[in-house]
């Protein structure tokens, strides 16, 4: 299974900065990467990224992704973006349940599961984020928390669960510069792998990404772990050379 390196730009970017970043990535991707690559960008820039990708052959295989999606198909939900709209704009992926959405917008496990269902119904791969806070880890609740979050998605999506991507993002390591050790990350990934295996006989198809401050310096060690199938990259995805270094580290 090819690894997946997905950039999460978060609320960053501008028309000029986006074009410069895509140009730098195109120059660095002269050889087809051994992994799958995606960039998940703010909704206002999806159309721009789609257009930029179409004129740069080196980026043809880079998947376009969004950072959130509505659980609703359409209707009176001002400010929300439906999965059908994302599909219209060429999105292959969408992040759901990022800890920042859970923390700042009160998203529950059930809502995250419903968002994953909406994405799957539109033919978009949801990148389902799960992870524990520092307090939960220190209290010894890591396994309980991540299994609960994933169980909600499994319950709602049933046999379609083999079509998702899971991203383990320990909340205490997101944007803090702290990173779970390769052994700590692998231990949680192994728990999630076992949970998926119990839920579907197609579990081998599900990529489990690590997403807690993965960067150019630590990517190779993290990606060498047996159950880490790629990375969901935050700040390093905004620096072309760092992102390219991580992509290079993600050989099968």
Catalytic residues: 98, 169
What's the CA gap between 236 and 129, in Å, rounded? Answer: 18
Specify whether the CB–CB gap between 199 and 225 falls below 8 A. Answer: no
Whole-angstrom Cα distance, residue 80 to residue 6?
Answer: 23
What DSSP character marks residue 91?
-
From the number of C-beta atoms within 10 Å of its C-beta (0-12, 13-18, 19+), residue 159 rates as exposed
Give how far the C-alpha of residue 18 lies from the chain's centroid of Cα atoms, to the nearest Å: 19
Integer Cα distance of 49 and 65 in angstroms:
10
User: From CA 211, how far away is CA 195, in angstroms rounded?
Assistant: 19
Here the tokens at position 156 are: 């709602």
């Amino acid at each position: 299974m090819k690894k997946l390196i997905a950039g999460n730009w978060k609320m960053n970017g501008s028309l000029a900065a986006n074009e410069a970043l895509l140009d730098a990535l195109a120059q660095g991707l002269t050889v087809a990467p051994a992994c799958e690559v995606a960039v998940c960008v703010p909704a206002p820039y999806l159309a721009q990224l789609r257009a930029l990708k179409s004129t740069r052959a080196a980026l043809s295989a880079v998947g376009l992704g969004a950072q959130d999606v509505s659980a609703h198909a359409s209707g009176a939900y001002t400010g929300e973006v439906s999965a059908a709209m994302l599909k219209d704009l060429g999105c292959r992926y969408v992040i759901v349940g990022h800890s920042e959405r859970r923390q700042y917008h009160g998203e529950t496990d059930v809502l995250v599961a419903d968002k994953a269902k909406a994405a799957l119904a539109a033919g978009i791969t949801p990148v389902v984020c799960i992870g524990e806070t520092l307090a939960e880890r220190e209290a010894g609740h890591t396994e309980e928390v991540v299994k609960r979050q994933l169980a909600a998605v499994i319950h709602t999506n049933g046999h379609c669960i083999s079509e998702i991507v899971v991203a383990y993002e320990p909340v205490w390591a997101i944007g803090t510069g702290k990173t779970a050790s390769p052994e700590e990350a692998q231990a949680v990934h192994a728990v999630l792998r076992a949970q998926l295996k119990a839920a579907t006989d197609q579990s081998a198809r599900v990529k489990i990404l690590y997403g807690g401050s993965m960067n150019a310096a630590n990517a190779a060690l993290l990606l060498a772990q047996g159950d880490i199938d790629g990375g969901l990259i935050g700040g390093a995805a905004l620096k072309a050379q760092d992102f390219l270094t991580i992509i290079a580290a993600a050989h099968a």
